[in-house]
Amino acid sequence: MQNSGKTTLVLFLMSLLLFSQTLHSRENSTELYQKGAQLALSGDLEEAIQAFRKSIELSPSYCLGHYGLGKAYLSKQGMLEDAIKHLKASTRLDRRFAKGYFYLGIGYLLARKYQYAAQAFKTSYSLDNGYVEALYNLGVVFDIMDKKYESEFYFTKYFDKRAKKEEDIIF
């Protein structure tokens, strides 16, 4: 009986070892997102998109996977609606994700959905006032909508904040 107990224990430990190696070698969503981001930065958008898709397949609720895929789709012809869909998903999954709102605003601006773009840029800036580019884009949106007062307000605010940001860098 002791021999069969030892055999069972050895088999159990061997299977545990094999199982742990399988888990360890498997890619996770974060690694796939980081791989996709590096590929996108190096200009390999198709491979980046594949990495972001795989990230979402592994973890459908992974905010950064949707963000990466949406941002990559912004750069591809004919993928604007898919870009907006994934950027919206990223902001739905993390309501405080300023970058997601910023690029969602870009998507809406490109889709000529100006009210939605304005709201996304406002949300981005309210969550992270380091996104002064959101103020500039608000100026653009309101200029397109022929709302001159709002356009001037946001352009002025952008230039003031940008100058302050540059001043802070110097000192």
Which residues, including other chains, have CB under 8 Å from residue 9's CB and lie 6 or more apart? none
Instruction: Look up the pTM and report it.
Output: 0.81
- Tokens read off for 36: 């996709």
Rounded distance between C-alpha atoms, residue 15 and residue 138, angstroms: 58
| pLDDT single digits (tens) 74-133 | 999 999 999 999 999 999 999 999 999 999 999 999 999 999 999 999 999 999 999 999
| 15-48 per-position pLDDT tens digit | 554 444 334 335 799 999 999 999 999 999 999 9
Those residues whose C-beta lies under 8 Å from the C-beta of residue 76, and which sit 6 or more positions away, are: 45, 49, 83
Residue whose C-alpha is closest to residue 55's, from 76, 71, 75: 71
How far is residue 44's CA from residue 114's CA, in Å, rounded to a whole number?
Answer: 30
Q: Yes or no: is domain 1-94 CATH 3.40.309.10? A: no
